[in-house]
Structure 1
Amino acid sequence: MPTDGLPEALHVTTDEQLRAVSNLTRHRIMAVIRFEPATITQIAERVGLAKGSSSYHVRLLERAGLVKVVRTRKVRGVTERYYGMAARSIVLPDPGEGGPDMLMRHAVADLEAAPADSERHVRMAHLRLTDEQFAELGARLQALADEYRELSDPSLPDTSLVFALFHPAPHAQAGGESR
């Protein structure tokens, strides 16, 4: 879907929006319409849901302002609605101390659901960085993701890029020994 004219980001600020994006099924629906609008029937087929369930989840996303009808067309007297994202990206609030990070939970669920024999690049690196290096790396990762998002071709299969740059909780040390 051409994203011209869409706001760059929609910040999730309400409880209704947070509940809407916290559901894995709705997360997957948003992934289906991220680049190309789709009807309820198309969404149901791509996500593997019954049409009624798909309609229910899309209505919740629409009511929360996360998706919208981007075009309609008449088919044998029935108006077919095509749904698309309300913004190019969705920005979630900081989960807060001890709160679940829904974005990372959804990313892990998507990774687990991906075909085991598909090509993937999953790495974890432990770094020791100054505050300046931490900020610079975060900005470079975001710029790289933005650069490749601009190159996205809706005719190609989906690819997900997820990164998390964070300071982990300190490890508890038993009896002064480090593990």
Structure 2
Amino acid sequence: MPTEDLPETFHVTTDEQLRAVSNLTRHRIMAVLRFEPATITQIAERVGLAKGSSSYHVRLLERAGLVKVVRTRKVRGVIERYYAMAARSIELPDPGEGGPDVLMRHAVADLEASPADGVRHVRMAHLRLTEEQFAELGARLHALADEYRKLSDPALPDASLVFALFHPAWREQTEGGAE
């Protein structure tokens, strides 16, 4: 199934789905399937897992509806299944007050696991914005991510873009310039 045939967004709504995406190994498997279908063997090689572990995690993702079989073929008497993402993007529910944001945890883990001598662009900026500026910046970041996602080529190396625009918990204490 080409990625252009995928639904735009998969909304995580059940506990089973949330548990499936909350695991770092499954997060990395979904990253492998982001642009093109792959077999259990291909997934295992790319993620660095044993085939049995890879199969276990893919079955959990499939049961949760996050990945699906898009093609099969018979190889030496065995049916080989190709898995792909069920949608172009996954939308998680708001973690709620005090709840960990699973995407940020996975992004930090992936950043920490990336080659230390590789090119990275990491930046944190503390801003003071009006609500209108805050909304505009959020929309621009989403549009920029969408623009570059459309340019993505499965033949090129992976690159991850993660952003978080939020009001910190201490915001109310500093509004109006009081520090």
| TM-score band, normalised by shorter chain | over 0.9
Q: Note the alpha carbon deviations across 1:40-85, whole angstroms, 9 max, x for none.
A: 0111111111110000000000000000001111111111000000
Secondary structure of the equivalent of 2:58?
Answer: helix
Mapped to 2, the partners of 1:30 and 1:69 lie a distance apart of 13
Q: Is the 8 A contact 2:3 2:36 kept in 1?
A: no
Q: Residue type matched to 1:44 in 2? A: A
Does residue 24 (structure 1) correspond to residue 24 (structure 2)? The answer is yes
Q: Is the 8 A contact 2:17 2:66 kept in 1?
A: yes
Where is the helix percentage greater, Structure 1 or Structure 2? 2
TM-score (norm 2): 0.94
Q: Note the alpha carbon deviations across 1:132-163, whole angstroms, 9 max, x for none.
A: 11111000000000000000000000000000
Q: Residue type matched to 1:127 in 2? A: L
**Runs of 4+ residues over 2 Å off in structure 1:** none
**Count of paired positions:** 175
Q: Name the residue aligned to 1:161.
A: 161
Q: Name the residue aligned to 2:42.
A: 42
Report percent identity of matched pairs: 87
Shift of 1:2: 2.6
Q: Name the residue aligned to 1:68.
A: 68
Where do 5+ consecutive residues of structure 1 fail to align?
none
Secondary structure of the equivalent of 2:4?
Answer: coil
Does residue 147 (structure 1) correspond to residue 147 (structure 2)? The answer is yes
Shift of 1:5: 1.7
Where do 5+ consecutive residues of structure 2 fail to align?
none
Q: Residue type matched to 1:91 in 2? A: E
- Across the aligned residues of Structure 1 and Structure 2, the Cα RMSD in angstroms comes to 1.5
Does residue 117 (structure 1) correspond to residue 117 (structure 2)? The answer is yes
Q: Name the residue aligned to 2:129.
A: 129
Alignment of 1:164-175 (within 5 A): 164-170=164-170
Mapped to 2, the partners of 1:168 and 1:5 lie a distance apart of 38
TM-score (norm 1): 0.94
Q: Note the alpha carbon deviations across 1:9-46, whole angstroms, 9 max, x for none.
A: 00000000000000000000000111111100111111
